[in-house]
Amino acid sequence: MPHITNEEKVRENRLRRAVARQGWTLVKIRRRDPRAIDYGKFLLMPPRGSGRGPLTIEQVEAWVVR
């Protein structure tokens, strides 16, 4: 499993706070198999209903600034 850098963790936390301000939740998919299609991706979960994903960190950033 690749080691996550401090910069990547800061980026994730910044996005979690930005998404939370819009009433959503950012969830990292906990898949352990690097060959899986959703490995290292995220889900955007609204307060109610089904979420959006799997999304890359770049796609989450684009969603936040939309």
- Residue 53 burial by Cβ neighbours in a 10 Å radius (0-12, 13-18, 19+): middle
pLDDT at 61: 93
Task: Count other C-beta atoms under 10 Å from residue 2's C-beta.
Answer: 7
Contact 42, 31 (CB under 8 A): no
Give phi and psi for 62, each to the nearest 5.
-65, -35
* 3 band by pLDDT with thresholds 50, 70 and 90: confident
> For residues 2 and 48, is the Cβ–Cβ distance under 8 A?
no
* pTM of the predicted model as reported, rounded to 2 decimal places: 0.81
